[in-house]
Amino acid sequence: MKKNFRIDSRLDSYQSFFDHDWSQKILNIPDSSDIREIVFDLSVAWKGAANTHVMPWLMATALPSFYKGLMQVDDPFIVQVINSLPNQLEQAMEGELSSGALEKLRSLIRSNSIQLGMKRKEIIGNINLEDVWKDYFENTEFRLSIWASQRLVYGAIYYAYEEFLLRCYQLKANDSGYQIRFEKFKKDFATIFGESLRNECWLHDDVAVARLTRNALVHNGGRIGEDVNDFEHQLCIENGAVQIMPEHNKRLFNSLKKRALKLTKKIVKSEKKP
């Protein structure tokens, strides 16, 4: 049996999507603010998700850098071994090699050492990142890990956001035991924060699609219902199953970060009122 999955083959797609400017903005609130810990936890959770997303890119880019660093040292290990051979052979074969033969051996080793140094520079100059990535990408296990990690990242982005909304509500409603039930939360959130913010943070198409996608990934193996088509989305759906690509994670993060910042500003502003 064969599992069909779609993944993005472009290396640059796996660069980090985390927005440090956004993080600075949302964390730029008074230390005394009741929401500060909630905001900090959201930022850390999203940073962790972004770091998971970027792992394929880090693996591909780190290998050439490591290899270049290894080859650029003054005396790589292999060169040290080659240069030590004459003395080792002289000691091991004491009296069995004439001075002329030993000198010829030294000359040969010096020549090979010089050629190795030239080859080393050629290798350093010829390392191609795209070739490294291609080698990685041809490995089925590696591709499978990318497919799975992108699903995990999408879920992590949404989980952190929903927990953020819940904790914000618990804070302002002074109800630490409150749990989200969709219809009830829709009404309760509007009561505390207003309908406009409720519509933007909880009922917007981007949030609704993310919620349906999260449910599909967690409860239905990625198979998503047709009700997702009631909302505007740019998901990749094949044979009824949603395929999470790097662009979906970036788009979701960029959408949710704006809503989180707006809600944070609303709460901080309300704390300043006498």
Closest CA to 19 of 200, 190, 251: 251
Any bridge partners for residue 242, and if so which? 237
82 pLDDT band, cuts 50/70/90, is: low
- The pLDDT tens digits of the residues spanning 189-217 come to 999 999 999 999 999 999 999 999 999 99
pLDDT bracket for residue 255 (50, 70, 90):
very high
Residue 243 pLDDT > 70: yes
The pTM of this model reads 0.79
Q: What is residue 26's predicted lDDT score, i.e. its pLDDT?
A: 94
pLDDT above 60: residue 9: yes
Mean pLDDT of 42-62: 93
Handedness of CA 133, 137, 139, 143 (dihedral sign): positive
pLDDT of residue 177: 96
Question: What's the number of CA atoms in the CB half-sphere (13 Å) around residue 147?
Answer: 15
Q: Where are the domains of the chain?
A: 18-53+150-272, 63-131
Burial of 47 (0-12, 13-18, 19+ CB in 10 A): middle
